[in-house]
A and B are shown apart, each in its own frame.
Chain A
């Protein structure tokens, strides 16, 4: 079964607006990470949040984690055209060694 599921699957917003993407997972985790993939490029690590953390910031990114609901959100503030990409959440757990499991991703499109 799929561990991470991003919501929505696709999102289009105007440049300058905030974009929020959600991720839900099924089993207990150790860490949750968000990755970005620009079209035709590889995956870029954005941010990692540990299971004992509730919120983390990095530049224009804000990640929240609610372990009771097994969900996380990624907020991108003041979006830019360069933010157009697919965003994936990925989880790892103590009982899965270093293996991380990805969701299907959210395709974010920033409109000029």
Chain B
């Protein structure tokens, strides 16, 4: 069974540009989560989808971040315009409804110059 995949693995962009991260959850997992780890800090929750609906987006830092999960399958996280403090590793995780174990993708390493 394929795990959670994320694309791209790395992204280097300039301040002010736009970047879109993609996450493909494990097939059949209705829960999809985005997390972010800024250098040296803890991994922080960004938001949670149940199927295509945003269950909890309390962790989204500001309105420059937009997450979508059209059709309830893969999800995208767009940062527009990117700022220096957005640099970090963005993780996606998925789980079955009711399950407490989340399965994480390898992360996307974003560097904003």
Interface residues of A (CB under 8 A from B): 2, 4, 30-31, 33, 35, 41-45, 48, 88, 90, 92, 97-105
Contact = CB atoms under 8 A, between A and B. Distances in A.
Nearest to B95: A98
Interface in B22-51: 31, 33, 35, 40-45, 48
B55 A97 contact: yes
A42 B104 contact: yes
Interface string B96-113: 000011111111000000
B74 interface: no
A43 B91 contact: yes
Interface residues of B, number: 25
Chain B contact surface mostly: strand
Nearest to B9: A40
A13 B69 CA distance: 44
A99 B48 CA distance: 8
A71 B76 CA distance: 35
Contacts of A92: 100
A35 B102 CA distance: 10
B56 A42 contact: no
A78 B9 CA distance: 33
Nearest to A101: B45
Nearest to B107: A42
